[in-house]
Structure 1
Amino acid sequence: MVLKGETRINKYTDLNKQFVGGQWRTGTGESGIEVLNPYTQQKVTSIQAASQKDIDEAYETAKAAQKEWAEVNAFEKSRIMEKAVRIMEERREELIQVLIEDAGSTRIKANVEVDFTLAITRHSASFPMRMEGTMPPSIIPGKENHVYRKPLGVVGVIGPFNFPMYLAMRSVAPAIATGNAVVLKPDSQTPLSGGTLLGKIFEEAGVPAGIMNVVVPKISEVGDGFVEHPVPRMISFTGSTGVGRHIGEITGRMIKKTVLELGGNNPLVVLDDADIPLAIQGAAFGKFMHSGQICMAVNRIIVHKDVYDEFTKGFIELAKGLKSGDPEKEDTLIGPLINQDSVQRILGEVEKAKEEGAEVLLEGKVDGNVMTPFVLKGTNEVSTAKHEMFGPVVTIIPVDSEEEALRVANDTEYGLSGAVHAGTDSKAMAFAKKMETGMVHINDQSVNDEPLVAFGGEKSSGIGRFGGDWSLDEFTTFQWISVQNTSREYPF
C-alpha cells in the first residue's frame, strides 16, 4: 500500500502492486523497484517486481476473460468507457499529482497530459458502436458476403516514461473498447502514472476481472518474455527506436500484429518570409515543454540565413527567461529530466557536438536532474542534431535556400513530426508535403496530438497509426463469412 507520509498520493491505494485477474497483489519477482520523484529524488514508493510467472498468469487470465468481454453488449462497453472518463474528470487533481511525483511532470505538462488522456478515452467510448459488419456484393451468383469487424483477442501494451498516462491509454482505451483484453507493462521508472493508476481507473469503472491487467517486471529478470508470450496477438509499443526494432524482429518472427511509435529527430523550419515572433514562440514551446522529453519535440531548428540573426536573438532571449525547477509550481515549464543518467547522456552529446564544431549560443546549467536550455549553432552532422536529445538541447542550423532547408529537414533516419513557418499557407503546404514525416504542422510546432487524426511516423519513427478510425483499425481485425444461398455450378 502507498503509505501516507511517503507521498501525497494517497487516495487510491495499492498502486505499488501488480494487477492480475482483477486482484491487487505483490509481485513474485526477485527484485524490488524503487520509484523516485525525479525532482526531489525522494522515494515515492517501492514495488516488488512481477516475475515471468506473473506475466504468464496475466496473459492467460486475459485470454480466458476476453471471449466473454467480446460478447458484452456494445452499449455496456461504451457505458464503462464513459464512466472511466468521468472518474478521471473527478480525480483530475489526483492524476496530476501522480504525474508530478511519479514522472516529474510540471503542472503545465500534467494538465496537458490529462486532457489528452480524457480525449482519447472519450473518443474510444464510441468504438463499441462501430464494430459493425458490411455486406459487399459478390461476383458469384447466389452468394451473400459478410465482413465482420472483430477484436484481436489479447493486446500487450508497453508504455514509456515521458507521457506515461496518455501514451499507455492511447492503446489501452481503444483496445478495451473494441472487445480486447489488455496486459499493460509500464516503464519501471513511471509504474504508477503509466500503469497501476490506469488499472485502478478501469477497475472502478467496472471492467470485468481479467480484461485490464498491469504488470511491472524488471527486464533484467524477464527479458523478452512479455513480447514473446504466445497469447497476445498484438504488441503496441511506444519508446526508443532501438528497442522498437528488437520488438519488431520478435513480433515479425511470431507473426504478431505490431504498432510501434518510436523516436524522432523533428525539424522546425523557418523560411525567409516567416512570422519570426510566432516562429520563436512555437519553437520554444515545441522544444522545452516537459524539458524536451517528448518524441515529437523540436530537435533541430532550420532557419533561412536572411532571418537567422533575428530568429536566434529572439529565441535565446525567450529561452533564458523560461521558468525551470520545481514542477509543483504553476509557472514552471522546464522540470526535471527523468534521472541523472539522462542528464549525463545529454551533457556528453553537447560536449561531442562542441568537438565537432558546434557553437554554443546559450550554455545551460544543471541542478540535480533539472537542466536549463542549451542552444547550439551547428550542422546536421553534429551530435546534437544527428541524435534525438530527449532533453532541453536544440541545434539551430542556418541554410541558404528553401531547397537546402528541405534537404536538411529530410536528412535523417527519423520521420515522426515537424513544423514549417512561411509567409503564406500555400508556400508552407507545398513545403510540408515534401517533408518525409508522418505529421507536419504549419505555423506551429511539432508537439501536437488529437484524438481524431492519424498519429504516427515514417522511416525509423515507427509503424502504424493512432487516433480516430486508424486506432479502430489497428486494434481490430476482419473476418469474411460467405453464404451460398443457391446451388453453385462448379467446373467439374
Structure 2
Amino acid sequence: MTTLLNDPVTRTRAYFGGEWRSTPRTFEVFYPSTLESIGAVADCTEGDARRAIDAAELALKEWRRVNPYQRGKILRKWHDLMFERKEDLARLMTLEMGKPISETRGEVHYAASFIEWCAEEAGRISGERVSLRMGNKRGLTAQEPVGIVYAVTPWNFPAGMITRKAAPALAAGCVMILKPAEQSPMTALYLAELWLEAGGPANTLQVLPTSDAAALTAPFMEDERVRKLTFTGSTAVGRLLYQQAARTLKRVSLELGGHAPFLIFADADLERAAREVVGSKFRNAGQTCISTNRVYVQREVADEFTRILTEKTAKLRLGDPLSDDTGVGPVVEQAGLDKVKAHVEDALSRGARATVGGSVQGGLYFQPTVLTDVDPDSLILREETFGPVAPVVVFDTEEEGLRLANDSEYGLAAYAYTRDLSRAWRVAEALEYGIVGINDGVPSAGAPHVPFGGMKNSGVGREGGHWGLEEYLETKFISMGV
C-alpha cells in the first residue's frame, strides 16, 4: 500500500560530487495538510559543500566550453521532461509545502517557461564590435560565464524559484550548487534528476539539502572559486549574505521581502478589481512575495468594494491541497501560522473587524480573511504577513493613496486599479516598486522574458529575460592591433 512515506514521487538523496548520496544525518519533510512525514532527506554538511565546490570547479571547465547552441538543446530536453513528469512534480510540490495541486500544476508550466526561454536564448549569447579611435586597432566584446554559482531558494515556489535561477546560469555556461529550502528539498532533487536525464553533464547542477543552512553556506561564502550568489528569501538573511559575499567580491542577486499595496480608485471596475485582489492575495494561501498585503480603497467605493471582496473570499474553498477543487490550502509551518494569528489578533485588538474568516480552521489552516477598519499602526500594515489575510484601508485622495502605498521599507510589487489613463501613468511612475501592475493583479505570471525584482529593501538585481541572463555573464573587452 502506498502511503505518504513511500510515495513514488518523493526523493531523499543529495546529488553532489557526481553521485546520488545518502548522508549519516537526515531530516524529515512534512505534508502541511496533515503534518505526516513524507520522508527523511539527506542532511548535508560543510564537508559536503567543499566536495561540491571541488566538483563544480572541474565541471565548469568543460561546461563553459560547450557550444551555447548545444547547451540550449540540453535545456530544451530538460523543459520537455518537466512536462512529461508534470503530475509527479505537481504532487511532490503539494506534498512538500501544501500548495493546492491546481496551483502546483500551473507552477510546472511557470518553472518550465524559464528553461524554454533560456534554451532559445543560449545560442544568442554573443559580443559586439566596438569602434575605436585608433586606425590600427579593432575592438570587440565577449560575454563569458561568471563561474560557479551558489543558489539559495525558498519553499513557496519549489520549482519556479529554482529554474528562474538555474536556467539562465546553465545557459550562460555557469555551473550551479543549490541549497533548497528545508521545507521543500525534494522538488529540487527531482529537477536535478531530470537535468541529468536530459543530458546535463555531471556536477553542473548539484543539490545539497540541509537542516543547518548557516553551516552549509559558510564554505561557499569563503571560497574565492564561487563567483556568484543568488538568493531568494527574507531581507534579514539577504543582508547577512550580502555582507558575507562582499569579502570575496562575489556577484550578488537578492530577491527579498515584499509588502505589496493594492490601490483601488473610485473609478475602478470594482468587480474585476476584487477578483484580482482575491487572486493576488489568496494564491498559495498568501505565501508569495508579491501577494497583496495591503488593500487601499478610495472612500467613495470602500463599502461596496469590501462587500464584493468579502463575498468572493467567502466562496474560496479551504481544504486538502491534493483535491482538485481546493482553492486555499494550509500555511507551510507552525511559525508561519503563528505570525498570521498574531497579525490578525493585533488588528482586531485595535478595532478592526473581520467581515469573513479571522481564525484558525485547525492544524495549519487559517481561514481566508478580510479585515476592515484596520488601524494604521497595526502590525499587518507594517510587516509582511505571508498568509491568507486581506486588510482593507480607506483613503481619500490620489496623493494620500500613493503616500500610504509607498510608506514601506520594501519595494517589490504594487498594484492599482483605475479607468483614468492619466492617473494610471501618474500612479505607475510614482509607485516605488520594481514591479507595478496597473489593472493587472499578476503582472509577472507566465512571462519568463520580463524583469522580476525589487527596489529598496526588497533586493538587488533582476531575474527573468535578458536582465536575468546578464546576471550570470561577464563582459570582456578585447582590443587587437592590426
1:240-251 equivalences under 5 Å are 240-251=234-245
Change (3 A) 1:141 1:380: farther
Q: What is the Cα deviation at residue 221 of structure 1?
A: 6.8
370, 379, 387: which one aligns with 1:375? 370
Give 1:199's aligned residue.
Answer: 192
Measure, in 2, the Cα distance between the counterparts of 1:20 and 1:227.
14
Pick one of 78, 97, 103 that aligns with 2:97: 103
Match of 1:474 in 2: 471
1:171-182 correspondence to structure 2 within 5 Å: 171-182=165-176
Is the CA contact 1:417–1:446 (under 8 Å) kept in the aligned structure 2?
A: no
Structure 1 gap ranges (5+): 486-492
Q: Give 1:27 deviation, angstroms.
A: 2.5
User: 1:342 is matched with which residue?
Assistant: 336
After TM superposition, give the deviation of residue 74 of structure 1 in Å.
Answer: 2.2
Structure 2 unaligned regions, length at least 5: none
Partner Cα separation in structure 1 for residue 106 and residue 377 of structure 2: 34
Distance 1:342 1:429 in 2: 36
Q: Give the Å deviation of 1:356.
A: 3.6
CA distance in 2, matches of 1:110, 1:398: 34
Please report how far the alpha carbon of residue 21 of structure 1 lies from its aligned counterpart in structure 2 after TM superposition. Answer: 2.8
What is the letter of the counterpart of residue 238 of structure 2? Answer: G
Q: How many Å separate the matches in 1 of 2:138 and 2:209? A: 48
- Closer/same/farther in 2, CA of residues 10 and 447 from structure 1, 3 Å limit: farther
CA gap 1:104/1:46 in 2 versus in 1, 3 angstroms: same
Q: Is the CA contact 1:183–1:212 (under 8 Å) kept in the aligned structure 2?
A: yes
User: How many angstroms does 1:48 deviate by?
Assistant: 3.0
* Aligned counterpart in structure 1 of residue 83 of structure 2, from 79, 82, 89: 89
Query: 4+ runs of 1 displaced by more than 6 Å?
Result: none
Distance 1:257 1:380 in 2: 39
Instruction: Check whether the contact 1:121–1:173 (CA below 8 A) recurs between aligned residues.
Output: yes
Which segment drifts farther, 59-68 or 299-308?
59-68
Distance 2:444 2:169 in 1: 22
Alignment map for 1:280-359 (pairs within 5 Å): 280-359=274-353
Contact 2:435 2:443 in 1 (8 A): no
Question: Match of 2:50, as an amino acid?
Answer: D
**Cα distance, 1:168 vs structure 2:** 1.2
Matches within 5 A, 1:369-448: 369-377=364-372, 378-446=374-442, 448=444
> Post-superposition shift, 1:372?
1.1
Matched, 1:208 2:201: yes
Whether the 8 Å contact between 2:264 and 2:298 is mirrored in structure 1 is yes
1:10 aligns with one of 8, 11, 14 = 8
1:55: Cα distance to partner? 0.7
How many positions carry a matched residue from both structures? 478
**What is the alpha-carbon distance in structure 2 between the residues aligned to residue 478 and residue 103 of structure 1?**
39
TM-score, length of structure 1 as denominator length: 0.94
Give identity over the alignment, percent. 33
Q: What is the CA distance between 1:446 and its match in structure 2?
A: 4.8
Q: Is the 8 A contact 1:62 1:154 kept in 2?
A: yes
Q: Which residue of 1 aligns with 2:221?
A: 228
Displacement after TM superposition at 1:196 (Å): 0.5
Aligned partner (choices 454, 457, 461) of residue 460 of structure 1: 457
| TM-score (norm. length: structure 2) | 0.96
Report the aligned-residue RMSD. Answer: 1.7
Question: 1:362 deviation in Å?
Answer: 2.9
Contact 2:21 2:42 in 1 (8 A): no
Question: Aligned equivalents of 1:103 and 1:438: distance in 2?
Answer: 27
Structure 2 vs 1, CA of residues 189 and 147 (structure 1 numbering), >3 Å: closer, same or farther? same
Using the TM superposition, give the Cα deviation of residue 132 of structure 1 relative to its aligned residue in structure 2, in angstroms: 0.9
Cα offsets for 1:338-371 (capped at 9, x unmatched): 0122111211122222334433333423211111
Helix, strand or coil at the partner of 2:247? helix
- C-alpha distance in 1 between matches for 2:442 and 2:293: 10
